[in-house]
Amino acid sequence: MKIGFVALIGRPNAGKSTLLNQIMKDKISIVSDKAQTTRNSIKAILTSDEAQIVFIDTPGIHKPLHELGKQLNKTAVSAMDGVDLVYFLLDATKPFGQGDQFVLDLIKKENIPIFLIFNKIDLLTKEQMIVKLTELNQTQLFSEIIPVSAINNDNVETLLKVTEAYLPDGEAMYPVDVVTEYPEQFFITEIIREQILVSTSEEIPHSVAILIDSFKEDKKSILIQASILVERDSQKSIIIGKQGQKIKAIGTAAREVLEKRFQKNIYLDLIVKVEKNWRNSSQKLNAINKQNTGQNYNE
C-alpha cells in the first residue's frame, strides 16, 4: 500500500483546516474566518485499502506580532520536516502576494514535491479560474496544480488519488481505527475556542487560550471544567457578556458540538481568567501547549 506524510501549508484563511476536515469526513481541525484559528500541527490519519496518508494541518504563516505568532510560524515550518509531499494552499479569490511568495520560498527550501492547491474555486467564474491557473502554471514550480473547493468537496477525491501516486510503498504505521494522535482533551479545548472565535469580535480570538482543569467521564456523561485565559479585564468582560449571557451562549454551543462527538451528556463549566501578556511568554505558551497536547512548541 501507499504510505506517506503530507503537510498542508499556506497563509491564514487559505482553507487548510476546511480541506483537512473534508478529506477526513470528520471535524479534525476547528474552522473560523479569524486568522490564527489553527495553533498546532494537527495530524490526521486517513486509511483505506490502498493507502495510509498522514496529513499535517498547520497554523497559517504570517508576519508575527508577538511570541505566540513566532511559535506558530515555527510550528508550521517544522511540520515540513520528513514529509513526502506539501500541499501549498492558495485562496483563489486573492491575488498572489508577497506573503504567498514568502511561504512558497520556505517550502522550496525543503526540496520535496509541491502540490499547488488552488482553493475556493466556487467563488470564481470559469474564465477567472483559467486565467489564474495559467499564470501560476508558468512558474513551473509545482509538481501538480489542483483546483478545489474544500467547503463544497469539489475535486477533493481527485486530489487524493493524485497524492497516492506520489507516495512510496510501505506498511501501515497506524491501526485502521486511529484518525489522530492528539488526546480528546485537546479537541475539547479547540471546540471551546472555536465557539469563542465565532461569538466574539476581532480583538478577542488572538488573546484566548483554553485549559482543561478537570475531566471526569463515566458511561453516560462527561464533566468538564475549563478555564478561558485572556490578557485583559476588558476581554474578560466581553466574553462573560451582560449578565453572563455571552459565556452561557459559548458554553451551550460548545456542549452541543461535544455531545455529538462523544455521544454522551456533557456538563461544561467555563471560568474566564486574566493572564496578562501570556502570548509573549514562552514559558506560559509551552505550559499551555503541553497540558493540552503533551508537546512543547519547541519540540
Mean pLDDT for each 10-residue chunk of the chain (299 residues)? 93 88 85 59 88 88 67 73 92 88 87 93 90 82 93 95 96 90 84 88 72 92 94 92 94 95 94 88 79 59
Q: Is residue 62 within 8 Å of residue 99, measured between CB atoms?
A: yes
**C-alpha cell of residue 296:** 512543547
**C-alpha cell of residue 293:** 497536547
- Note the pLDDT of residue 29: 78
Rounded distance between C-alpha atoms, residue 213 and residue 243, angstroms: 24
Cα-based angle 168, 172, 174 (whole degrees, multiple of 5): 130
- Note the pLDDT of residue 161: 96
Q: Is residue 57 within 8 Å of residue 28, measured between CB atoms?
A: yes
Backbone angles phi, psi at 53, to 5 degrees: -115, 130
Q: At what angle do helices 245-262 and 233-240 cross, to 10 degrees?
A: 70
- Note the pLDDT of residue 180: 86
- Note the pLDDT of residue 33: 61
For residue 28, give every residue at least 6 positions away whose Cβ sits within 8 Å of its Cβ, in sequence order, or none: 17, 20, 21, 42, 44, 57, 179, 180
Rounded distance between C-alpha atoms, residue 142 and residue 10, angstroms: 14
- Note the pLDDT of residue 87: 96
**Residue 51: closest CA among 178, 160, 179, 177:** 160
**Mind spelling out the 3-state secondary structure of the chain?**
CEEEEEEEEECCCCCHHHHHHHHHCCCCCCCCCCCCCCCCCEEEEEECCCEEEEEEECCCCCCCCCHHHHHHHHHHHHCCCCCCEEEEEEECCCCCCHHHHHHHHHHHCCCCCEEEEEECHHHCCHHHHHHHHHHHHCCCCCCEEEECECCCCECHHHHHHHHHHCCCECCCCCCCCCCECCCHHHHHHHHHHHHHHHHCCCCCHHHCEEEEEEEEECCCEEEEEEEEEECCHHHHHHHHCHHHHHHHHHHHHHHHHHHHHHCCEEEEEEEEEECCCHHHCHHHHHHHHHHHHCCCCCC
Rounded distance between C-alpha atoms, residue 63 and residue 42, angstroms: 21
